[in-house]
Structure 1
Amino acid sequence: MRISWLGDVLRGAGLSVVEEGDWLNRSAGSTFEPIGVLWHHTAAPSSSANPAPALNVCINGRSDLPGPLCHALVDYFGVFHLISANRANHAGNARASGPIPAGSGNTMLVGWEIDYAGDGGGGQVQEMTQAQYDASVTATAAVLNQLGRDASYARGHRETSTTGKIDPSFIDLDSMRADVAAAMGGGNPNPPAGTPLKVTVGNLNVRPTPATTGAPVGTLANGTTVYVQCQAVGEAVTIGGNTSHNWAKITSPVAGYITCHYVTGGPNLSVPSC
């Protein structure tokens, strides 16, 4: 199978795409029957000045592993660089993870190499940029829709690796799958308490637990990204003069109840999601 549709699907999802050379014919073997998407990080420090430092390696491979090493590299700005429409050497042998069975990860999985250092790559510790994360969620949702699979078929390399891989670092993979599900339109309109969701918020007013009334006790900066869990579903919160959203209990960086003010361009979650 050749995923020659990849560029069109990603562009159709609103992503910036660069086709790197003869990506349609670049291949690391013949057997490729993808059922899911696998996230990696390159361990190469990226920056606005050097947004795709691992691009050449992902195309041409290493001395111990021939390229291509992924299907697309996601650069610092969230641009998708298409590297292969065929089998790629990115996953090796896979252990069973969620609905992904044990077997050849290179046969079963489309791979994104997200270009950031992670946990000490290149002597640096670096998290994925928000642009990389958002683009990777959007791309994963689009590809899984194309494959006819749900968000559970999105995995991280550390979940399938048989050799102790840790990538992608600094990402909660259950939250990632919840974001992919939301992007696919499969979010639960009434999620149970404790369901993990990521929301982008600004002017975050923190109130003490357990009170849900009273003056705010702290403020986080505009555009802050936090990870929250649904709490007290059905309890109203006034946001911009309406009560269409719910309270949530924040687990990091501080404890307490929060009100959410959505940032323009943030996730369009249809649920009382914060």
Structure 2
Amino acid sequence: MQISWLGDVLRAAGVTVVEESGWLTRTASGTLDPIGVLWHHTAAPSSAANPAPALNVVINGRSDLPGPLCHALVDFNGVFHLVSANYANHAGPARASGPIPAGSGNVQLIGWEIDYAGDGGGGQVQEMTPAQYSASVAATAAVLTHLGKDASYARGHRETSTSGKIDPSFIDLDAMRADVAAAMGGTPPTGPTGTPFQVYETDVNVRPTPATTGAPVGNLGAPGTVYVECQTVGETVTANGYTNNRWAKISSPVAGYISNVFIEGPASLPVASC
């Protein structure tokens, strides 16, 4: 199957697209029959000055693996560079993950290479930019809708890899699927007890004094409790796992700013000062 529709589907979803020369005919040796979308990172440090450092590699391949190496590369600014509408060498053998059965990931999955260093790529540690994340969510939702699949068919390479791949680094893949589901108009994510998250307040300042890692630091009124999860002091934080389109690791006491708080409980839960 050729996914020549990819550019039109992404543009209709509001994603900025660049059609790289030859993308409609560029192919590796195999047949694409996609049922889902796979997220990767390139391990190449990107920046505003050099937004797509891995573009040449994903188009032309490496000495050990012929190109194309993805269907689209997502640059630092969230622009989707279309690389191939055909079979690409991006996933290799896949183990079963969610609804994706074991088999060839190259056959079953449309692959985004998101151009950032990840966990030490190029000697640097770099997270996905907000622009890359939001564009990848929108693109994934649009493609899965076109394929007639739900958000569970969005996976990360570390979930399907049989060789220990870790990409995409610094992304909670369950949170990603929740965001894709929301973009598709699906059901909201659920909390640990199975209760749907509800939006209770926006623009909430959280100033734990003091805070210990993983401890409750604010309250929206029983039974909901805000938990700050953050990597560094001053970084945008998340409430009980989900806010502002990102999840973060618990690692240090923080003072931060929460936007769009999601938390378990009834929609009528009163908002109290944090």
Instruction: Tell me, yes or no, whether TM beats 0.5.
Output: yes
- CA shift in 2, pair 1:259/1:83, >3 Å: closer
Cα shift at 1:205: 3.3
Alpha carbons of structure 1 residues 259 and 184: separation in structure 2 relative to 1, 3 Å: same
Q: Which amino acid aligns with 1:61?
A: G
- Contact 1:60–1:67 under 8 Å retained in 2: yes
More strand, by proportion: 1
Q: Secondary structure at the match of 1:56?
A: helix
CA distance in 2, matches of 1:28, 1:195: 45
Q: Write the letter of the residue equivalent to 1:95.
A: R
Give TM-score, length-normalised by structure 2. 0.77
Report the CA distance between 1:226 and its aligned residue: 2.4
Deviations 1:144-178 (A, max 9, x none): 00000000000000000011100000000011001
Q: 3-state DSSP class of the match of 1:21?
A: coil
TM-score (normalizing by structure 1)? 0.77
Contact 1:40 1:168 in 2 (8 A): yes
Cα separation, 2, equivalents of 1:23 and 1:196? 41
Letter in 1 for 2:205: L
The 3-state SS of whatever aligns with 1:98 is coil
Contact 1:58/1:69 (CA < 8 Å) preserved in 2?
yes
In structure 1, stretches of 5+ residues that fail to align are 231-249, 264-270
Change (3 A) 1:110 1:206: same
What is the count of residue pairs matched by the alignment? 243
Q: Could you tell me whether the CA contact under 8 Å between 1:202 and 1:224 is conserved in 2? A: no
Q: What letter corresponds to residue 134 of structure 2 in structure 1? A: D
Decide whether aligned partners of structure 1 residues 196 and 19 sit closer, same or farther in structure 2, where only a CA change above 3 A counts.
farther
Q: Which runs of 5+ in 2 are unaligned?
A: 209-216, 223-227, 243-247
Q: Does 1:42 find its partner at 2:42?
A: yes
CA contact (8 A) 2:238 2:258 kept: no
Counterpart of 1:68 in structure 2 is 68
Q: Counterpart of 1:112 in structure 2: which amino acid?
A: W
The aligned amino acid for 2:72 is A
Shift of 1:202: 4.0
Partner Cα distance (2:79, 2:188) in 1: 29
Supply the distance in 2 between the matched residues of 1:222 and 1:31 (Cα, whole angstroms).
Answer: 48
State the shift of 1:188 in Å: 3.3
Q: After TM superposition, give the deviation of residue 31 of structure 1 in Å.
A: 1.2
| RMSD of aligned residue pairs (Cα, Å) | 3.6
- Distance change in 2, residues 1:145/1:126 (3 Å): same
- Equivalent residues of 1:42, 1:114 under 8 A apart: yes
